[in-house]
Amino acid sequence: MIKELEKQFTGTGEVKGFKFTQMLFTQHAYLYEVNSGEQIHFEVFKRLKSPVCIDFEKRIYSDTEFKETYPKANRFGVDAFTKTNVYDGIAKMHEIERVETLKKLEEEQK
């Protein structure tokens, strides 16, 4: 089971108060509109999953339950990208989709 990202949420930390709205998603990528209150940009990123933590004190994680995660700042430029308009965001999203699909096909042929 994989818990998907929220459709809408308000940022915390460095992006406190920013409004995030999911615009599109594919098998391998997400596109979010980000409204800072002063300007709007778009964030495109590869879908990433991590195991759900069962016991925080003992750092025990589930083998069967996962959640998708929004990328941290250090992922931008690696597998997450900021775009100034939705069309560039969609283009980048399709690029991520093509690359991930090709990787999967190559792995299956090994």
Range of the domain at 49: 2-109
Neighbours of 42 (CB within 10 A): 22
pLDDT, position 60: 81
| Count: domains in the chain | 1
- Could you give the CA distance from residue 18 to residue 21 in angstroms, rounded to a whole number? 10
pLDDT, position 87: 97
pLDDT in tens, 2-37: 788 999 999 999 899 999 999 999 999 999 999 999
pLDDT in tens, 39-80: 999 999 999 887 778 788 888 888 878 889 899 999 999 999
User: Per the structure block, which two tokens stand in for 106?
Assistant: 């190559």
Q: Has residue 92 got a pLDDT over 90?
A: yes
Q: How confident is the model at residue 85 (pLDDT cuts 50, 70, 90)?
A: very high
Apex 21 CA angle, 40 and 103, nearest 5: 100
